[in-house]
Amino acid sequence: NWTTGNVIEEQVAAIREQVGDKRAICGLSGGVDSAVAAALVQKAIGSQLTCVYVDHGLMRKGETEQVEKDFVAATGVQLKVVDAEERFLTALKGVSDPEEKRKIIGREFIRVFEQAQAEIIADEGPAVEFLVQGTLYPDVVESGGGTGTANIKSHHNVGGLPEDLEFKLIEPLRKLFKDEVRMVGQELGLPDEIVQRQPFPGPGLGIRIVGEVTKERLDLLREADAIAREELTAAGLDREIWQCPVVLLADVRSVGVQGDGRTYGHPIVLRPVSSEDAMTADWSRLPYEVLARISTRITNEVGDVNRVVLDVTSKPPGTIEWE
């Protein structure tokens, strides 16, 4: 009989048996899957697990703190945070092409992660033999399916680490769907902000800036994104929409009038979508009052932004993200 309690008990016993007195590591992305997988393994083997969180500087407002403080407080997990913002920004300098950005972010991520891993392995202590991954049932089916569907974008996530790593995998969520993972996370005492989190791409805000990624642009987009999220949450719309990318058109400027002068600022795009699985999506018909509040606040509060536009494209033909 399926209950979250049973799943947790079963997995905890299996993980203990599998790991024995060895150690495991786990990459945290800030997303639901890696967080729940890590919490489960932590429950099973405690300090034999070390988590690694790579802060690439492309996170949204408050997300790194969520992992560093709230997640650690809720689980007691041992966490190694690598501050790699400068490294990522340097690698991304002058790059505007979406695929190139994705490749650079993926590559740097693996390098930083591997270095952190090597440091953990070099620690005193039992051998590090295991890698924890938040693979879900749909991922298992998808990768085993082999239908030959074209890979439209080179996806990057914490699960996509190189194949040549000599680790045994622990995948405690392999039989679960997303909603079940959320229930397990809740039962494990993880904060709502993590458990109920909407999907967010591995390359983060790096693929939500159309144009070159710079620190100033990231800060600006972080502000706009935080306002949109705040208003959507306040309006009780979090469960209704699948996700709402907020995109900065950094290479576009338009004329505006703000205060007592002419401005020449950037547009922000809102991309709220409804979806079952992200394979297809429809643009969300958000209430006008909510859109109005978001628009007023972003143009008032975020410097250098003088226009907010709404993306009314389904997927297909548009993808959910702009890059």
By CB under 6 A, which span of 36-44, 134-142, 169-177, 201-209 interacts with ligand XMP?
A: 201-209
For residue 158, give every residue at least 6 positions away whose Cβ sits within 8 Å of its Cβ, in sequence order, or none. Answer: 27, 28, 29, 31, 34, 133, 134, 202
Nearer to ligand XMP, 157 or 295 (CB): 157
Site pattern 231..250 for ligand XMP (x: CB under 6 A): ------------x-------
How far apart (Å, rounded) are the C-alpha atoms in residues 208 and 218?
Answer: 9
Q: Which of residues 23-62 bind ligand XMP (CB under 6 A)?
A: none
Binding site per annotation, positions: 29-35
Query: Nearer Cβ to ligand XMP, position 15 or 247?
Result: 247
Residue stretches of the annotated binding site for ATP: 29-35
Q: Is 275 exposed, middle or buried (0-12, 13-18, 19+ CB in 10 A)?
A: middle
Does residue 107 interact with ligand XMP by CB under 6 A? no
> Cα–Cα distance between 84 and 104 in angstroms, integer?
13
φ and ψ at residue 142, rounded to 5 degrees: -65, -45
Please count the residues of this chain forming the interface with ligand XMP, following the rule CB under 6 A. Answer: 14
Q: 23 or 271, CB closer to ligand XMP? A: 271
Of 23 and 156, CB closest to ligand XMP: 156
Maximum Cα interatomic distance, the chain, rounded to a whole number of Å: 69
Under the criterion CB under 6 A, does residue 278 sit at the interface with ligand XMP? Answer: yes
Residue 199 interacts with ligand XMP (CB under 6 A): yes or no: yes
Residue 115 near ligand XMP by CB under 6 A: no
- 8 Å CB contact between 155 and 175: no
Cα 19 to chain center, whole Å? 28
Q: Which is nearer to ligand XMP, 87 or 315 (CB)?
A: 315
Stretch that binds ligand XMP, among 10-18, 82-90, 200-208, 223-231 (CB under 6 A): 200-208
User: Shortest approach of ligand XMP to residue 320 CB, angstroms?
Assistant: 3
CB of 149 to ligand XMP, least distance (A): 12
Least distance in angstroms from the C-beta of 138 to ligand XMP: 12
Does 156 bind ligand XMP (CB under 6 A)? Our answer is yes
- Kindly list the distances between the CA atom of residue 136 and the CA atoms of 10, 36, 140, in Å, as whole numbers in the listed order: 17, 11, 6
Please select the residue that binds ligand XMP; options are 201, 265, 267, 272, rule is CB under 6 A.
201
Residue closest to 272 by CA, chosen among 289, 258, 256, 291:
291
Instruction: Kindly compute the dihedral angle of the four CA atoms of residues 225, 193, 105, 323, in this order, to the nearest 10 degrees.
Output: -50
Instruction: Decide whether 134 or 265 has the Cβ nearer to ligand XMP.
Output: 134
- If the CB atoms of residues 199 and 256 are measured against ligand XMP, the closer one turns out to be 199
Site track 297-316 with ligand XMP (rule: CB under 6 A), x = hit: ------------------x-
In sequence order, which residues have a C-beta less than 8 Å from that of residue 300 and are 6 or more positions away?
A: none
Cα dihedral: 45, 108, 155, 82 (round 10): 40
Which runs of E-coded beta strand occur in 187-260?
A: 209-210, 246-249, 254-258
Residue ranges of E strands in the chain: 23-28, 49-55, 78-83, 128-132, 168-170, 209-210, 246-249, 254-258, 261-270, 273-274, 282-283, 305-310
Minimum Å gap between C-beta 263 and ligand XMP is: 31
In the complex with ligand XMP, which residue's Cβ is closer, 157 or 284? 157
- The whole-angstrom distance between residue 317's C-alpha and the CA centroid of its chain comes to 24
Binding site for ligand XMP (CB under 6 A): 153, 155-157, 199, 201-203, 243, 278, 315, 319-321
